[in-house]
Amino acid sequence: MTITFLNTNIYLFSKKSFKLKNMTKQELFIQLAKPDENGVSRWVEKKEFVGKYATLYFENGFSWGRGSSPLAEKYIIETKKKGNTILKIRLNGLNTAKQFKQNIRKDIKDFYKDKKCVMLGINGTSENTKIEIDHKDGRKNDHRISNFTTQILEDFQPLCKAANDVKRQICKKCKLENKRWSAKNIKGNPYPFYVGDESYTEELGCKGCYQYDPVEYRKTSIKRITEEVTTDFLKKLYTEDER
């Protein structure tokens, strides 16, 4: 009987451990924060992310609580900060707004997963060189792109994690200031944008920004340089009277 009792306890412990290991970070936080039926929880301090909740701990990248995360799709997330450091997090109600879903259709992921990063030309195995399928539009406010049935290959591009992390910060700054990032920040790039200027507009959106499509930027730049050189050459070769 004693052996059976011990085995039962071991089985129950293993079953519980397996369940915890298979919980997402969002599920773990909900278990810890205990929101009520209205989606309001207590304030949870970061120092509580220990033990079985240790995977929730983060330094600067609050990835599991971003605006596009499953947690933010369901709840309104609030944070208390000291400077840029998040100290406490709570859920403050159910999110009834329409959310942009970051899911990407399998055939699109399969197409890009073996491609090289369009910015750095790599596809490696280390954390920073692994390929991520990037939404070109960094604002992620076009719900056509979040719909499996309407998203297309051209909405995405392969970026290594390092390039994608940098792009994410650039897009965040653009969203705050409505000033687009100039490609001339990279030495040797001939033009700041391949369409439009630094002012973000709803009509143009992200199109024209190097971060949105570096391949199109390079193609357009080559074409533009060729046209400018040809025009300049013709001007030197022929005078106005000879034309």
Q: Name the residue ranges covered by the structural domains of the chain.
A: 17-94, 102-177, 181-238
Mean pLDDT of 64-92: 89
In the structure, what pLDDT confidence band is assigned to residue 159 with cuts at 50, 70 and 90? Answer: very high
pLDDT of amino acid 241: 56
Question: For residues 210 and 193, is the Cβ–Cβ distance under 8 A?
Answer: yes
pLDDT of amino acid 5: 47
Mean pLDDT of 139-148: 88
- List the single range of 23-37, 48-62, 113-127 with lowest mean pLDDT: 48-62
- Confidence check: pLDDT of 125 > 60: yes
* Mean of per-residue pLDDT scores for the chain: 88
